[in-house]
């Protein structure tokens, strides 16, 4: 893409769409993102309605290119969200928004791409030593669901981000208490994925299982209330719930680190952990992360970083869109388009 064409490609429409909120922004020049707005998904019938509302709020600029990160597999033109009712065609959405090009990527693929550009000031290290250069990186994080990705070194583009659905792997309990919690969830849902526990709803599910074991009649709980009562010391049951949640996250994180050989570090994203960041530093997470028998030392060396950036999904969508446009331009030059 020539310099003049590149200038005309801005602003670019970016979005990070989760099961609860859709975050929109404009990239007004390379790596400069402005006008971030968070819209509640439930307030809009379609993704087009939400996008048009956003564009109206920022003065309806002329936009040619867009990239949406979405909490969902992207397997073709048709997208049916897992944790929300929106379902749509990518091509129809592109036409409805008058875009020349619109790409959709998995939200944690976007989170992974964001890490390739993230300053150290937006990362908090929890244990480990230092990253190995040019080694794979693991990316995961609990939120409305459990997102999982990874970054694989690539000579041509630095890193390639994986698009997977690792949050839906079968959960493996670690001890007798987790076996009990797993049995409670299996009776309720059948298949028990890692996401069943490592998400906002999962925190509530762990609490319910523990309360059921103790014969405690539990009132309607929320993730926020459980965290608040756990940290204030008002509820030992809530504290135990939070401890188990972090321990489970440690197991799942170390499993991913071993699978990918993530000597480049493990990066924890999502909106849940930053809510109790001081507790998390000394929670059971790191002990469980390193508890892998013959591979204790291997994992002890791997640093874990909590991502503190406010909108990493949007930044990652910008990286993916830039890569897409470079590839598109290269194909034009080679006459492959």
How far from chain centre, in Å, is Cα 150?
A: 11
Rounded percentage of the chain residues whose pLDDT exceeds 70:
94
C-alpha closest to that of 45 among 15, 84, 96, 13:
84
**pTM of the predicted model, to two decimals?**
0.88
Could you tell me where the DSSP H helices lie in the chain? 3-8, 47-57, 90-96, 107-115, 176-189, 194-197, 200-214, 223-232, 236-260, 277-281, 285-289, 296-300, 312-334
Backbone angles phi, psi at 221, to 5 degrees: -110, 160
pLDDT at residue 332 is higher than 70: no
Give the pLDDT confidence of 59-100 residue by residue, as tens digits.
Answer: 999 999 999 999 888 999 999 997 788 999 999 999 999 999
Residues 183-204: pLDDT tens digits? Answer: 999 999 999 999 999 999 999 9
Average pLDDT over residues 274-291: 95
Percent of the chain with pLDDT over 90: 80
Say if residues 33 and 50 touch (Cβ distance below 8 Å). no
Question: What pLDDT score does 167 carry?
Answer: 93
Helix or strand or coil: residue 229? Answer: helix
The phi, psi pair for 159, rounded to 5°, reads -140, 145
């Amino acid at each position: 893409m020539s310099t003049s064409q590149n200038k005309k490609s801005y602003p670019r429409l970016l979005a990070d769409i989760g099961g609860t909120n859709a975050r929109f922004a404009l990239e007004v020049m390379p790596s400069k993102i402005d006008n971030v707005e968070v819209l509640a998904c439930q307030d809009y019938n379609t993704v087009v309605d939400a996008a048009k509302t956003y564009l109206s709020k920022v003065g309806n600029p002329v936009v040619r290119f867009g990239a949406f990160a979405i909490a969902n597999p992207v397997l073709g033109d048709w997208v049916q969200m897992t944790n929300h009712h929106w379902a749509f065609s990518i091509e129809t959405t592109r036409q409805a928004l008058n875009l020349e090009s619109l790409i959709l990527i998995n939200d944690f693929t976007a989170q992974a791409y964001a890490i390739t550009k993230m300053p150290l000031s937006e990362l908090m290290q929890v244990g480990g030593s230092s990253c190995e250069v040019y080694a794979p990186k693991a990316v995961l994080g609990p939120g409305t669901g459990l997102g999982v990705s990874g970054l694989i070194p690539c000579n041509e583009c630095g890193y390639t981000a994986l698009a997977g659905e690792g949050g839906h792997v079968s959960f493996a309990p670690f001890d007798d208490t987790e076996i009990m919690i797993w049995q409670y969830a299996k009776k309720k849902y059948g298949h028990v994925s890692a996401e069943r526990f490592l998400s906002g709803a999962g925190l509530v599910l762990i609490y319910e299982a523990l309360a059921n074991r103790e014969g405690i009649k539990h009132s309607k709980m929320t993730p926020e209330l459980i965290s608040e009562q756990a940290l204030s010391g008002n509820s030992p049951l809530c504290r135990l719930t939070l401890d188990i949640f972090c321990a489970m996250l440690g197991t799942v994180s170390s499993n991913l680190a071993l699978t990918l050989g993530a000597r480049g570090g493990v990066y924890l994203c999502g909106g849940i952990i930053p809510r109790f960041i001081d507790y998390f530093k000394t929670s059971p997470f790191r002990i469980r992360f390193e508890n892998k028998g013959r591979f204790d030392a291997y994992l002890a060396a791997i640093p874990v970083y909590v991502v503190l950036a406010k909108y990493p999904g949007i930044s990652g969508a910008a990286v993916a869109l830039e890569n897409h446009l470079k590839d598109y331009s290269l194909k034009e030059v080679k006459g492959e388009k």
